[in-house]
């Protein structure tokens, strides 16, 4: 027992080490940009700035984005993440949130595996828990949606086997406050129900267990009540997601999807190379007389089901494409469970094979250590910040360079505070989230959910540019989450550092429509050669020796 606690604390210490360097770097640290700095972090900040965290007013909006983005289309203010961002500066709130999410992943996996799957192999429990804890899952939007799966199952199994304590019920109640309903409830609940049904076939019906399932559903609905109401019951707000075009699926894409998931899990849920686990499975099955039963059977069936569901899901969606819920809701997200299931299977396999030949034990240990190395190496925030702390230059911008507060403060000073507060901006070759972070009002934005009418209105500004490139036109028309000022010359690239030689020679935007939407200024990371022909005047460029960007400021002509 004492050895078990020491190993647990040793693992906890290992989990904390990367954050020491990260916290010391602070705003000079590396943070993932995609689906993170370019979007999710700013959403939280804007909601806090607008004091709309707990607003349940159906008319409330975030005024600095898209001429007033309905508050109800954004995440719930009841998320624990908001507390961190309200108390700390953005970068430190991000790091601490990252720490909490990954520590919960480590603790939950340790508790679950030790109590229900592996009794006598503490080192195996530790290494599997470290693998899960170090996984680079996205956390700003999802919270513990992925990392909290083990501790949630731990609580539910305690209830099922009548071993529950007060903290198990607390875990079940608090989970929705630190996760996101759309990637948890529809996908976790079916598996919990199946576990309960499987238990009932051999034992008596557990009322407490199914009450716990009902409880987590009710709490989830309460937490996300505003989003649910806005999405399903507010006729005045029609989401752009209803216009998502469902392309006809093909067997080639199914094969490709299955092949991908037999190599690596989806990056939002944490990139995990699953080939060592598959290799171990077949080594045990073919050479070591591994019995395909109990936990191995259920986990294997679950993994196969999720991979096939994800691969064939486009056929389901295409068949029922006329039903709004199938086009606007991503029903393939069972893949968010795959890292957890794969590592749990890995743990069970290694435990079974450790009782076999000594060679099998060595193979298992080698594969596990290789997997742990790959997981840490794939976690770019850990590895890049370690390199940055010891003086290695990053390939991209750090947190401070990305958001360029100094350059935007220069622009604010140059234009005057009233101009920045009263008029809208467009951004070219740079993420709109950067301007939003700095308090600038933008017509363009990256949003998972916004009004369809706004998409059509914004399209009038960029329509001529979209017509030049079929790929960009399809990207905007059939998806549209990135409601950006696209350029056929830049393509879907949004990062051009100050040393770039790139120029836009023939940009076409509708300046009249731009002004109708209270637009006045355009910020670009590249020079726009033909700015005069589109009725824009060049005002000034902004850069300094330490900046990542060189920003070019343009103003639409009053007589344009």
- Per-residue model confidence as pLDDT tens for the chain (560 residues): 667 889 999 999 999 999 999 999 999 999 999 999 999 999 999 999 988 888 877 678 898 999 999 988 888 899 999 999 999 999 999 999 999 999 999 999 999 999 999 988 889 999 999 999 999 999 888 999 999 999 999 999 999 999 999 999 999 999 999 999 999 999 999 999 999 998 888 888 889 999 999 999 999 999 998 888 887 788 788 888 888 876 678 899 899 999 999 999 999 999 999 999 998 888 777 766 666 667 888 999 999 999 999 999 888 887 877 776 767 778 889 999 999 999 999 999 888 877 666 666 787 788 888 999 999 988 999 999 999 999 888 778 999 999 999 999 999 999 999 999 999 999 999 999 999 999 999 999 999 999 999 999 999 999 999 999 999 999 999 999 999 999 999 999 999 999 999 999 999 999 999 999 999 999 999 999 999 999 999 999 999 988 999 999 999 998 75
Q: How far apart are CA 385 and CA 98, in angstroms?
A: 14
- How far apart CA 154 and CA 165 sit, in angstroms, is 11
pLDDT, residue 290, reads 66
**What pLDDT score does 277 carry?**
92
Element (H, E) at 347: helix 338-353
pTM for this one?
0.94
Q: Which residues contact 548 (CB under 8 A, 6 or more apart)?
A: 397, 401, 402, 404, 497, 498
Query: 519-524 and 424-428: which strand pairing?
Result: parallel
Quote the tokens at residue 171: 């875990």
Q: How far apart are CA 425 and CA 407, in angstroms?
A: 15
Instruction: Give pLDDT, residue 203.
Output: 85
Angle CA(149)–CA(153)–CA(157) in degrees, nearest 5? 175
Question: So what's the pLDDT on residue 356?
Answer: 63
Helix axis angle, 40-49 to 80-87, nearest 10°: 70
Helix ranges (H only) for 89-224 are 90-116, 122-134, 149-160, 166-174, 181-202, 207-223
Residue 522 and residue 425 in contact, taking contact as beta carbons nearer than 8 Å:
yes
Residue closest to 164 by CA, chosen among 117, 211, 128? 211
Q: Which residues partner with 551 through β-bridges?
A: 542
List the one residue out of 98, 81, 87 whose CA is nearest residue 381. 98
């Amino acid at each position: 027992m004492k050895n078990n606690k020491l190993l647990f604390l040793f693992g906890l210490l290992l989990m904390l080490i990367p954050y020491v360097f990260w916290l010391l770097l602070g705003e000079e640290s590396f943070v993932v940009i995609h689906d993170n700095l370019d979007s999710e972090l700013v959403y939280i900040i804007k909601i806090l700035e607008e004091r709309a965290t707990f607003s349940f007013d159906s008319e409330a909006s975030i005024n600095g984005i898209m001429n007033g983005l309905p508050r109800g289309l954004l995440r719930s203010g009841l998320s624990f993440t908001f507390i961190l961002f309200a108390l700390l500066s953005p970068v430190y709130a991000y790091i601490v949130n990252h720490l909490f999410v990954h520590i919960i992943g480590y603790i939950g996996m340790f508790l679950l595996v030790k109590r229900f799957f592996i009794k006598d192999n503490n080192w195996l429990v530790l290494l599997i828990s470290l693998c899960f804890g170090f996984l680079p899952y996205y956390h700003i939007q999802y919270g513990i949606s992925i990392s909290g799966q083990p501790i949630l199952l731990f609580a539910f199994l305690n209830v099922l086997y009548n071993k529950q304590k007060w903290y198990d019920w607390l875990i079940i109640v608090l989970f929705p406050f630190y996760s996101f309903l759309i990637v948890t409830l529809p996908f976790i609940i079916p598996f919990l129900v199946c576990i309960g049904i499987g238990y009932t076939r051999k034992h008596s019906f557990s009322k407490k267990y199914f009450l716990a399932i009902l409880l987590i559903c009710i709490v989830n609905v309460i937490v996300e009540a505003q989003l649910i109401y806005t999405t399903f019951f507010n006729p005045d707000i029609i989401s752009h997601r209803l216009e998502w075009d469902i392309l006809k699926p093909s067997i080639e894409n199914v094969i490709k999807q299955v092949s991908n998931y037999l190599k690596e899990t989806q990056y939002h849920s944490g990139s995990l190379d699953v080939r060592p686990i598959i290799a171990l499975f077949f080594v045990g099955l073919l050479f070591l007389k591994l019995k395909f039963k109990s936990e191995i059977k259920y986990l294997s069936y679950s993994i196969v089901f999720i991979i096939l569901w994800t691969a064939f899901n486009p056929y389901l969606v295409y068949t029922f494409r006329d039903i709004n819920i199938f086009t606007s809701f991503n029903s393939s997200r069972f893949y968010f469970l795959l890292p957890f299931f794969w590592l749990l299977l890995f743990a069970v396999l290694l435990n079974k094979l450790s009782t076999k030949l000594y060679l099998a034990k060595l193979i298992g240990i080698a594969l596990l250590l290789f997997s742990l190395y790959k997981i840490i190496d794939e976690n770019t925030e850990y590895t890049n910040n370690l390199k940055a702390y010891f003086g290695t230059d990053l390939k991209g911008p750090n947190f401070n360079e990305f958001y360029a507060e100094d350059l935007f403060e220069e622009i604010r000073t140059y234009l005057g505070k009233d101009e920045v507060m009263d008029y809208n901006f467009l951004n070219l070759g740079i993420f709109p989230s950067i301007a939003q972070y700095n308090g600038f009002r933008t017509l363009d934005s990256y949003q998972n959910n916004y009004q369809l009418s706004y998409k059509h209105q914004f399209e009038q500004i960029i329509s001529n540019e979209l017509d030049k490139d079929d790929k960009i036109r399809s990207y905007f028309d059939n998806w549209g989450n990135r409601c950006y000022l696209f350029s056929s010359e830049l393509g879907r690239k949004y990062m051009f550092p100050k040393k770039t030689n790139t120029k836009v020679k023939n940009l076409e935007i509708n300046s009249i429509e731009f002004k109708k939407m209270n637009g006045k200024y355009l910020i670009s990371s590249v020079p726009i050669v033909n700015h005069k022909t589109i009725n824009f005047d060049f005002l000034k460029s902004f850069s300094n020796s330490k900046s990542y960007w060189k920003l070019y400021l343009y103003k639409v002509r009053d007589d344009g």
